[in-house]
Amino acid sequence: MTTNANSFSNFRRNTKPKRKSRADHTYVHRNALDQGEYQERYNGLVDRFELAKACHTAITEEITDKLTRLSTINAFLYTLRKQDNLLTEFDEKLWCSLVDYAPVYDKDDVRFTFKDGTEIKA
């Protein structure tokens, strides 16, 4: 998360548009823009757009991941709240709402991956 936040703040710091004065606008209107200058400005704008697009994509993916985790946690809490009393024995529904998968790599290496992404070695 900090990587995305840092890249976003760097984006904001490095891509602030420069303010044009009235004289700049008059110059552009009165004089034809050199093709080299135009291409340089255009390439700068394309680079800014690509950086903004990459930041947007990264942040959107992070938001989607967090929303998915939130719905998983809410489903688990809903299942847990439906319990009438404290758990005294194994509850398959509760277990299935908590654990995503449990791969067995070896007789001494069993790992449980929970729906929130946490993994423990049993």
Same domain, 28 and 60: yes
Give the residue among 102, 101, 113, 115 at the shortest CA–CA distance from 69. 115
Q: Which residue range(s) make up the domain with 77?
A: 2-82
Number of domains in the chain: 2
State the pLDDT at residue 46. Answer: 95
| For helices 35-81 and 2-14, angle between their N-to-C axes, nearest 10 degrees | 150
State the pLDDT at residue 62. Answer: 94
Same domain, 102 and 64: no
Mean pLDDT, each 10-residue run in order, the chain (122 residues):
60 61 57 78 94 96 90 82 79 82 89 85 82
Same domain, 71 and 26: yes
- The CA-atom distances, in angstroms, between 6 and each of 3, 23, 40, 66 are 5, 36, 27, 19
The type of residue at 17 is P
Same domain, 78 and 98: no
Same domain, 52 and 110: no
Same domain, 107 and 92: yes
State the pLDDT at residue 43. Answer: 94
Same domain, 26 and 9: yes
State the pLDDT at residue 74. Answer: 86
State the pLDDT at residue 35. Answer: 82
Same domain, 18 and 77: yes
